[in-house]
Structure 1
Amino acid sequence: MSAPERIPPRSVTTTDPAVTTLLAEGELTVRGRIREASNTALYCTVTHEGREAACVYKPVAGERPLWDFPTGTLAGREVAAHLVCAATGWDLVPPTVLRDGPHGEGMCQLWVETVPGDALLAVVEGEEAEPGWKAIGFVDTGDGGTALLVHADDPRLRRLAVLDAVINNADRKGGHLLPAAGGRLYGIDHGVTFHTEDKLRTLLWGWAGEPLTEEAREVLTGLGAALADDGPLSAALAPLLSAEEIDATRARVAALLAAGTHPAPGGQWPAIPWPPV
């Protein structure tokens, strides 16, 4: 018997139907546990009809209850984030499905092999960001001083900032940004998203208050149509999110288009996740 054809993660996009089928229908084999994760996250391989890929499997049974997200599941919201991203046409979230596995129902996401790339975050001296960087805020250096935390003025990060505003991401840490081959950038760990209240916490505040790009406005317009009551995205999200969460997502898209700018911290919620990286 010939060895399965391994699919390099760098060769796929969020809309590759063959990879979605592989993740959804393939045989999952647990290879180990990702111990850095706060909830159960298992490194696996998935095999189907002679094809194989590495993936992450997060069973619902391994989720810790969250007081501020009392309904739904982390796994369901991870899949919902992928579906919204796929609807934008931006290749920012790895292919993700909800399926049964060795430990019950859970999220299964294609593993992304990271590669060295341009720096996305930095801590610098001074009070203003240099050209090519955007200021996030000041951080304590531990010796009684402060330094400026900045992120790159990168169009991939800017798209991700728009996506996070749409899905109301409450936990965009630096460690959730994965540079991949071919100049791609992926965001992962979208379990605390889609709340009906404003909970946006992110490191990507550098464009706060700045006008949205023309590309972003076009994408948001398309999302608004897809999220209509009879839209395809609303139908796809219905098994994963509550009706109120879908309504809130629709409202966030409309608000972004009406404002025409990237959102700014509202002051009702810590703006930066902890730890930030």
Structure 2
Amino acid sequence: MTSSGLAPRRDGAAALRLLRDGELSIEGRLVDASNTTLRGVLTLPGATARCVYKPVRGERPLWDFPDGTLAGREVAAYLVSAATGWDLVPPTVLRPGPFGPGSCQLWIDEPADAEPLVAFVPADELPPRWFPIAAARDDDGNPYALAHADDPRLARLALFDAVINNADRKGGHVLVGPNDRIYGVDHGVSFHIEEKLRTVLWGWAGRPLPDDAVETLDRLAHQVAGPLGDELAEHLTIGEIAELAARIDRLRTAGRFPQPSPDWPAVPWPPV
């Protein structure tokens, strides 16, 4: 089992065991991240994989999220993703590490030839079946569009973000893994009790949800009211879990993808 061969869907139990129990050594730091984000290697007899380790002590204080809770929110996002069956978030646990407790997530290797699904493109060269989201200009004043593909995999991720109230879905947080699987990462600023959805994936705003998505929300509502809610209680407050359930109910009732809120910036910065 190696970092390139450990598929989150196929080997989920093995990945979680390695994440929880593997010896964690640090390779380096991802310098573009706003919070301390380290790439590491996990090792057990006969198994090894890369991971992303985010120690709680390296979290930058935020005015709207309680200190020391971002790692737990990363784990909560994984638990909700696993409950949907969509497996959009790589396996993630909370564990001790060289710099104290933190979230530890399976590293996803993007194939070298993977085509981006979110990008700035020249305004007059929008690819077929892409949604323009926002207008922009480069340093020379040339018009560009922030856009994303009309891809059912992204539509699921957009709905997932609405469920967890993700305040920071940048284009760089959408990864294309092996076998054309897509993953969302960086969910530390999710699950707030106030509406904070901020994303680049607005292409389906106001459109009806697919039938299979409605069925998934129905199942998820029951899970949050049961064992999943108990698991989430280790990482979220009672109020945050109650609001998660309320968001799911609102989405089920509306039967549509949400619209941007007029009270909160709709797109994160930087968006990609």
TM-score by length of 2: 0.94
Q: Which residue does the alignment assign to 1:101?
A: 97
Corresponding residue of 1:65: 61
Cα 1:71–1:42 shift into 2, 3 Å: closer
State the SS of the aligned residue for 2:193.
coil
Give the aligned partner of residue 203 of structure 1: 200
C-alpha distance in structure 1 between counterparts of 2:3 and 2:36, whole Å = 25
Aligned equivalents of 1:103, 1:176: Cα separation in 2: 24
**Could you say which residue in structure 2 is the equivalent of 1:213?**
210
Residue 48 of structure 1: how far off its partner (Å): 1.8
- CA RMSD for the aligned pairs? 1.7
1:124 matched residue in structure 2: 122
Q: Does structure 1 residue 178 correspond to structure 2 residue 175?
A: yes
Contact 2:223–2:229 (CA under 8 A) maintained in structure 1: yes
Q: Name the counterpart of 1:56.
A: 52
Structure 1 Cα separation of the partners of residues 83 and 238 of structure 2: 19
Structure 1 residues 15 and 67, CA gap change in structure 2 (3 angstroms)? farther
Q: CA deviation at 1:10?
A: 5.3
For 1:262, the equivalent position in structure 2 comes to 257
**1:45 is matched with which residue?**
41
Give the conservation status (yes or no) of the 8 Å contact 1:179–1:185.
yes
Query: What residue in structure 2 maps to residue 251 of structure 1?
Result: 246
Amino acid in the other structure paired with 2:58: G
Unaligned runs of 5+ residues in structure 1 are none
The whole-number CA distance in structure 2 between the counterparts of 1:236 and 1:113 is 28
Mapped to 2, the partners of 1:259 and 1:202 lie a distance apart of 20
Question: Which amino acid in 2 is paired with 1:92?
Answer: L
Which residue of structure 2 aligns with residue 35 of structure 1? Answer: 31
- Report deviation, 1:156: 0.8
Whole-Å separation in 1 of the counterparts to 2:184 and 2:118: 14
Distance between the aligned counterparts of 2:115 and 2:170, measured in 1?
A: 17
Displacement of 1:138 = 1.4
Q: Under a length normalisation based on structure 1, what TM-score does the superposition of the two structures give?
A: 0.92
Contact preservation (8 Å) 1:9, 1:111: no
Shift of 1:129: 6.0
Superposed CA deviations along residues 71-90 of structure 1, whole A, max 9, x for unmatched, are: 55110000000000000001
